Amino acid sequence: MSNIYDVMHKNTLLYLRIEALSIKDRIGTSSKIMTNLEKTAFFVLTPEEMTITDTLKAADLFAKYRVPISVFIVNRVISTELL
């Protein structure tokens, strides 16, 4: 006969398996979206040295995993025509 701790342990393991499958599914869905050129196309950054350096590193990492980035959007840049 099982004691309460055995039942709790089995339920915990079942929950962890279900959660792991859910996470795997969400990662798979995210991966499909991120590698779809029609859905993922830009990277937003600010014009600061550290941000640009980090963005370039991130872009290299994305390229390594074939995540497309076709446009970089730079925030906080004002056209001289507006000044």
Give which of 53, 58, 30, 33 is closest to 43, Cα–Cα: 58
Instruction: Please state the pTM of the whole predicted model.
Output: 0.47
Give, as one character, the DSSP assignment of residue 1: -
Residue type, 61: L
- Is there a contact between 75 and 48 (Cβ–Cβ < 8 Å)? no
Q: Which segments of 1-83 are extended strands (E)? A: 42-45, 71-74
Q: Is the domain of 58 the same as that of 79?
A: yes
Measured CA to CA, the distance from residue 36 to residue 66 in angstroms comes to: 10
Range of the domain at 59: 36-83
**Residues 35-62: what's their mean pLDDT?**
82
Q: pLDDT tens-digit profile of 44-54? A: 778 888 888 99
Q: Is the domain of 17 the same as that of 3?
A: yes
* pLDDT over threshold 60, residue 1: no
Q: Is the domain of 41 the same as that of 62?
A: yes
Measured CA to CA, the distance from residue 56 to residue 58 in angstroms comes to: 5
Q: Average per-residue pLDDT in the chain? A: 83
